[in-house]
Structure 1
Amino acid sequence: MDTTRAEEKVRPGINPRVVLAHFDVTEREIIDRFGQDWYVTNGGGELWLSQTSNYRYALIKPTDIFQEMFNLDREMVLLFSPYENFEPRTLDAISKATSQHQALRLERICSILVSKDPNIATKLRELLKNDQEAQIVIPFTYEELRSSGSDPFFFRNRFIEHFYARDLFASESPLKKDLYFFGRTDLVHSLINRHRSNQVSGLFGLRKTGKTSVIFGVQRGLQKVDGASAFIDCQTPAFHRLRWNQALHHVLMAVRKQNDLSERLGQVDDYTDSQAPLLFEKHLRRMSEALGSKTIMLIFDEVENITPTVSPTEHWREGEDFVLFWQTVRSLFQSSSGLFSYLLVGTNPLCVELPTVGTADNPLFAQVPLEYIPGFDVPQTREMVRRLGKIMGLKFDETIYGRLTEDCGGHPYLMRHVCSVIHRISGTERPIRVDKTLYSHAVDIFLRDYTQFMEMILSVLREYFNDEFDMLRMLSRGDHKAFQEFAELSPLYTNHLLGYVVLQEVDKRFDFRIEVIRRHLQAREKYKKLYMSIEEKRSEISERRNDIEQRLRRLCRMQLLASLGEGDARDSVLAILGSPRSARCAGYPYSDLFDGNRSGILFSDIPKVIRKHWECFRNVLGRDMEKVERDMKTINELRVDAHAKDISDEEMAVVRVSACRIKEALSAFFA
């Protein structure tokens, strides 16, 4: 027997040293009830949110069954709300109770609320339903706890109801709290340390890599060390449509508002070309002094919106505003150590890569260290997925963490949404084991149903780096020769792909780092490969022809039936088949006439059906019957399963065009 494990077991009960004098009689009875299934470790105390708002709390520790079912191993806040009507401020009492104890001691993701409001469950659910970062709060009423008896499943069922139903992986917005913030603590600390050392920073990455969540993490970290910051959203037209001198006023307003200062900044019209730099320095110094001479971190998010050549606003994209704005900021930064630092965040690092802007030197070039946001490693993936998964009743096999990291390249947004699919397809019986079979099924569904996620992430490359995006397409379809030719022209062609963690380089060979991106592009680029062998050409034509033939048979069967009725449709097809096939098929059901294994219908028969009944097909295949016939003839004449002939690159290009036209029309019809 493992005696160490036995000693670690947590059994129900109440610590004899717990003081409960501040609870009323009913609350002590309820604590006794919790002591039948939980271990009450601490009597907590009273909390006053205002003169008329009083709460009491205790701390309880989950016993083994709760640790196993819900991955809870720390003490939890048990809060009593002795009011008949639940108010949202009750959740502030939970936060205040948590703050009374060491952070590592208490469970941060979950707490328990006991209320006298009989509708507490409904009200709490309504309050929290739109807050993706809300703590899980398990509600009970005074009355139900007093009458629950000793039912061993009472607490378990309530926890299951509130734990397993919520999808903690389906997070879309940036995380503003620490509660579900995983894997970026070292990065946050690094950025804060650079700021405190009077250094500037740049952080770039693909969309949905968690850049804005990192910003919020930096701001929370600065608050903990009594620092100061201001967040400037460059994406809003309220900022990027301003001229450079007006933008300086906007930055000052952000500092004042976000730090609760009362500095009089004057009117925006005061910030003329000549006065704006002077006023910027004057007011920033005053606000720093008002904050106790703190160094203020200015955080510019979505900085590509004020970047030359890519900004949506002309005076930033093509004018001098970028140069004048950053000349002002950089000059003051260099001459006033300890006044402020700045952090540039975005998807496109062009603002720090351009050596010149027009005829002027770029003030940011070689001044801001460029850092790409890294992907999660396996331990970070495990921390996030295991923690959230066990709360939702998903027990991941250890091998899944490595596969998930590899398939998604450590991209947290992709990994969370793959796990969200796992949650959705796993049913209601929890906990459930997530093995490689369930995982592989979820990845297939993700690739089929969530292509918009991959497209959104790739849009950065498509919008800003067309050559690099084309290189990805080459690699996905196996055109390694074409890819290598680009890569050897200049390292700039691969720097962004490596920085964005889309590709990895091993022994001077490049491959996809994000496997689901490779599979997504591979499906899109399936029939676009260049430099093909004759066997590859034959295989592609055969595959595409067979797929199109099956769809055309189905289309003919459906359209003739709808237009002619089964009897006339059957007679028409038999007439086209001709002797001896029509005699052999005379007794077949109508649907069997389009089964090549039974009726012997050929690809060459299908154009005859379509021409004879063109009115049935013109709204599906297009208005030009001659073009449709030419496309089908091209596909059929190059069918490699019947003619083992050489196929030139020109012939391959023609058959691809024809197959694409037919396939697009059929896909639109069957969508």
Structure 2
Amino acid sequence: MSIQAQLDTIVDSFSKSANGLFEITGRYHAAFEQGIYGCAIAKPTKRMRLALGVDREILVVASLFSDQQQRIIKFIKNEIENSFGRFENNIAIVIHFDPEGNSKIRNWGRDQSISILPINFNSPLVNSVDLEKRISVELYSHDPFDVTGPVSDDANFYGRRDEAIDLARKLQRGQIRSCLGIRKIGKTSIINRILKEIQGNYSCMCIMVDCSRDDVFELDAAKMLNSLRNSIDIAATDLKNYSIIVPISSEIDLKIARDELEETILRREEPIVFIFDEVDYITPGSPTRQAWRTDFNPFWRNLRSIYQECDRQRRPMSILVGGVSTYWFTVESVDGIENAALAFIPEEFLSPMPEGAIVAMIKRLGRIAGLEVDDEACKMIARATGSMPYWARKCCSYMHRNISVQERPCHITAKRAEPLVDSFVAEEGSAIAEVALSHLFRVHPLLMDATTKCFEGKGHLVSEPLRRVLRKYGVISISNELSGAMLSRAFSAIKSEPKSDLSTRDEIIVGGLRLNLDEWAEELATLGKRRNLLERRIRDLALNFIRFDALSTGRAQEAKTRILAAIVESRRTEMSHLTVEEAINKFLWTDLYKLVIKEWKLFEKIFGDRVDFESNCVIVNDRPDTHAKDADQADVALYRRALQRLEERLAKIQ
């Protein structure tokens, strides 16, 4: 049988199985880079259009190769671009014979911003139910709601595009702006988006200052100014329009540092944009360096002097400040000295998104996950989460985990969503909001008493300026009540603590720092972040090493079997339908280190002593931030040492 005839047979089988899901409106063969592909034009039914979130026809590609290569993605992109808008530009279906093809093709597609729905034809399609099930498993097992860090790409950045464009336009003209808001409101995301807009549309030099870095907040005022100057020089030498701050720790006189920075900026033709993220770390309330209580004023006073001189000489210089607290930019004086940042940094907030924007975000992401969430359910989620975009996505991610893939696509009504939303608030949401509120009250202590009065129904006793600040943070609504179930439950938990006055909480010594309980929470959050990064690296390491070993022995198909062998039989059965990547992504920390021990011969040269490795992994699993148990300085020190030993071992393969 000829290649074309074999491809036609595959497309015929797909066409029969697609009855009720797609209508095949055209077929053709195409040659591309020494390969021949069978193509079909699939018009989705109304139900599939809603499930897939599409409104055009979809390209279906059949391939006979038993080992797929990235050229199939190039072929798909080429066909979509040459269709003059007929095909959906971010989704395609691929039918193939590669045993490992599903994960490869899907990952290559994601790299090119195309969702590929791969169908392994080694098991021929039976009927429309079989086809829909295979598509559902591939499409809906991915959680589009869950994000673990800042986002700026079009696929994940919602509701603030116009705001980012407007700020970018203002910054390239020599303005000073701020982006202040509660934790996880999206400050870093919008800063990243602003950077993207500036670099793509304007001729500016951007210097990024992440104040949460140890080597940044440990600088004093003079060293910070000198480091800004050094960063500009490095970017100019490398002919780049963007640079992160390159700290210089050598001593320098404040006046000399100011003069050299001013001279460097005035020499530049293009505007200079300084972006300070996590600015709370270099304020008098810094949780990590008390010296900024005295360095805060000199730094901003001299930076203001430079800005004014640049303005007089028509050399645009801009500043964008991102952080949580407005407090140190609103007080009149610091230690009896006039606050240099008071009239310099405007008090501008990144408030919660409008309810309509949250609804649109949930509906769009929901369709990708096979969840058609109706308007009332979306509004319920928005109100429960205070219209905080990150919180709303976390709530939807919880729903995604608790709705079976097998029943999708499905319609989610308010009645179905309500118990899931309530469970999320109780199990996860209130804890997320509690951390955010505790941090806010620590860096802006005046808001604790104001929120207490609003919580008790005495909002009318709070001064209007403080109520206005709370509204801009998204803590209270226009009616002076706490905004949503997450915040109400979180604040109730804070109030029920034995010592609710944050300013008088017991102090704890951690790593040489005297920390109150909120700062203790920050320390645990840092350890949690390190643990999560470590877990991700070991997960990737285990997958790559086992897969490579299986390939080198000619038994590539055994990689999944070897990985699943580390877990109990019942869980193996549950994961049998998943790809090897999807299976290992569901492994817990204990599963991961048991997998490494089971395959120890592959990892011995990396981790060294097996007993030491297992001991450190057991310590890392005993998380003081997630268990109701006592944890003192010694526990944290031991935990930090275990993390460090594992991190050092992994660093050897970087």
| TM-score, length-scaled by structure 1 | 0.61
Per the alignment, residue 437 of structure 2 pairs with: 458
- 1:247: how far off? 2.2
Name the CA shift for 1:521/1:86 in 2 (closer, same or farther; >3 Å): same
Distance (Å, rounded) in 2 between the aligned partners of 1:304 and 1:105: 50
| Equivalences for residues 50-129 of structure 1 within 5 A | 62-74=44-56, 110-112=91-93, 117-123=98-104
User: What is the DSSP-based 3-state SS (H/G/I as helix, E as strand, rest coil) of the residue aligned with 2:438?
Assistant: helix
Residue 435 (structure 1) aligned with residue 413 (structure 2): yes
Which of 139, 153, 178 does residue 163 from structure 1 map onto? 139
What secondary structure does 1:503 align onto? coil
Q: What residue identity is the alignment partner of 2:299? A: F
CA contact (8 A) 2:8 2:38 kept: no
Instruction: Read off the aligned partner of 2:388 and give its amino acid letter.
Output: H
Aligned partner of 1:370 among 347, 356, 359 = 347
Q: CA deviation at 1:175?
A: 1.0
Is 1:520 aligned to 2:515, yes or no?
A: no
Deviation at 1:150, TM superposition (A): 8.4
For residue 279 of structure 2, what is the amino acid of its counterpart? V
Between the aligned partners of 2:353 and 2:436, the Cα distance in structure 1 is 16
Distance 2:93 2:10 in 1: 12
Measured in 2, the distance between the counterparts of 1:167 and 1:375 equals 23
Matched with 2:505 is: none
Alignment of structure 1 residues 609-620 onto 2, 5 Å: none
Q: Which amino acid aligns with 2:167?
A: L
Counterpart among 448, 452, 463 of residue 469 in structure 1 = 448
Within a 5 Å distance, the mapping from 1:379-394 to structure 2 comes to 379-394=356-371
Shift of residue 308, structure 1, vs aligned partner = 2.6
**Which of 398, 403, 407 is 1:426 aligned to?**
403
Question: What is the CA distance between 1:139 and its match in structure 2?
Answer: 2.5
Name segments (4+ residues, structure 1) moved above 6 Å.
23-36, 40-48, 52-60, 77-84, 87-102, 125-129, 256-260, 263-267
Aligned with residue 256 of structure 2, among 254, 275, 290: 275
TM alignment of 1:538-553, pairs within 5 A: none
Indicate how the Cα distance of structure 1 residues 65 and 356 shifts in structure 2: closer, same or farther if over 3 A, else same: same
TM-superposed deviation, 1:514: 2.9
The 2-side partners of 1:267 and 1:415 are apart by: 37
Query: In structure 2, how many angstroms separate the alpha carbons of the residues matched to 1:116 and 1:260?
Result: 51
Specify whether residues 254 and 34 from structure 1 end up closer, same or farther in structure 2 by C-alpha distance, changes over 3 A only: farther
- Check whether the contact 2:51–2:367 (CA below 8 A) recurs between aligned residues: yes
Q: Describe the SS at the equivalent of 1:345.
A: strand
Offset, 1:230: 3.5
CA apart distance, 1:389: 1.0
Structure-2 separation of matches of 1:112 and 1:135: 10
Change in Cα spacing, 1:668 to 1:332, as seen in structure 2 (3 Å) is: same
Alignment match, 2:569: none
Match of 1:214 in 2: 190
Larger Rg: 1
- AA aligned to 2:415 is T
Deviations along 1:425-481, one digit per CA (max 9) or x if unpaired, are: 2223112322223222112212221132111221233212334223323433x3x35
Cα drift, residue 254 of structure 1: 5.1
Q: Which runs of 5+ in 1 are unaligned?
A: 1-22, 529-666
Change beyond 3 A, Cα 1:186–1:126: closer
Distance 1:300 1:527, change over 3 A: closer
- Name which of 451, 467, 487 aligns with 1:494: 467
Of 284, 290, 294, 1:308 maps to 284
Identity of aligned residues (%): 22
Task: Tell me the CA shift for residue 512 of structure 1.
Answer: 1.8
**Once superposed, what is the RMSD of the aligned Cα atoms?**
4.6
* Matched residues, number: 487
**Aligned with residue 340 of structure 1, among 297, 310, 317:** 317
* 1:198-219 C-alpha deviation (Å, 9 max, x unpaired): 3221111101111111112212
1:487-519 residue CA offsets vs partner (Å, 9 max, x unmatched): 1xx44432321220111234xxx2222332113
For the residues of structure 1 that align with 2:32 and 2:292, how far apart are their CA atoms?
53
- The higher-RCO structure (CA 8 Å, 6+ apart) is 2
1:219-238, aligned counterparts within 5 Å?
219-228=195-204, 229-238=206-215
Partner Cα separation in structure 2 for residue 367 and residue 180 of structure 1: 33
The equivalent of 2:554 in structure 1 is none
Query: Contact 1:175–1:213 at 8 Å: present in 2 too?
Result: yes
Range with bigger deviation, 492-501 or 230-239: 492-501
Which letter maps to 2:282?
I
The answer for the alignment partner of 2:299 in structure 1 is 322
Contact 1:244/1:324 (8 A) holds in 2:
no
For 1:252 and 1:31, the matched residues in 2 are separated by 63
Is the aligned partner of 1:180 residue 2:180? Answer: no
- How many Å apart are 1:272 and its aligned residue? 4.8
Distance 1:314 1:385, change over 3 A: same
Report if aligned partners of 2:183, 2:324 keep a CA contact under 8 Å in 1.
yes
**Partner deviation per Cα, 1:207-255 (whole Å, 9 max, x = no partner):** 1111111112212222332444333211111211122333234335655
Residues 214 and 59 of structure 1: CA distance in aligned 2, closer, same or farther (over 3 Å): farther
CA pair 196-668 structure 1, distance change in 2 beyond 3 A? closer
Q: Which runs of structure 2 are paired with 1:277-292 in the superposition (5 Å)?
A: 277-284=258-265, 288-289=268-269
Letter in 2 for 1:241: E
Kindly provide the amino acid, as one letter, of the partner of residue 427 in structure 2: D
Contact 2:39 2:62 in 1 (8 A): yes
The residue type equivalent to 2:224 in the other structure is A
The 1:266/1:128 distance shift into structure 2, 3 A limit, reads: closer
CA 321–354 in structure 1, closer or farther in 2 if over 3 Å, else same: same
- CA shift in 2, pair 1:496/1:105, >3 Å: farther
1:446 and 2:420 correspond:
no
| 1:209 counterpart SS class | coil
| Inter-partner Cα distance in structure 1 for 2:259 and 2:27 | 58
Determine the C-alpha separation between the residues in 1 that align with 2:5 and 2:252: 66
Q: Distance in 2 between matches of 1:75 and 1:256?
A: 52
CA contact (8 A) 1:241 1:313 kept: yes
Q: Which residue of 1 aligns with 2:116?
A: 137
One-letter amino acid of the counterpart of residue 477, structure 2 = Q
Partner of 2:617: none
Runs (5+) with no aligned partner, structure 2 = 499-627, 631-654
- Deviations 1:46-81 (CA, angstroms, capped at 9, x unpaired): 999xxx999999986644342033222245576799
SS at match of 2:481: strand
C-alpha separation in 1, matches of 2:186 and 2:360: 16
Structure 2 CA distance for partners of 1:370 and 1:524, relative to 1, 3 Å? closer
148-157 vs 227-236, which deviates more? 148-157
Q: How far off is 1:117 after superposition?
A: 4.4
CA drift of 1:148 comes to 4.7
Secondary structure of the 1:380 match is helix
Alpha-carbon displacement from aligned partner over 1:633-670 (angstroms, at most 9, x marks no partner): xxxxxxxxxxxxxxxxxxxxxxxxxxxxxxxxxx999x
What letter is aligned with 1:447? V
Matches of 1:256 and 1:277, distance apart in 2: 15
- 1 CA distance for matches of 2:315 and 2:39? 44
| 1:328–1:527 distance in 2 versus 1, CA, 3 Å | closer
Q: Residues 95-148 of structure 1: CA distance to partner in whole angstroms, max 9, x if unpaired?
A: 88888899x98756644456674412244578899x9x976432346x65xx95
1:203 equivalenced with 2:179 (yes/no) = yes
Q: Secondary structure at the match of 1:370?
A: coil
Closer, same or farther in 2 for the Cα pair 1:165/1:312, shift >3 Å? same
2:545 equivalent in structure 1? none
Q: Which digits, 9 at most, give the CA deviation of each residue in 1:261-303, with x for residues without a partner? A: 34899994596534323432444456x54xxx3x343221111
Q: Which amino acid aligns with 2:257?
A: A
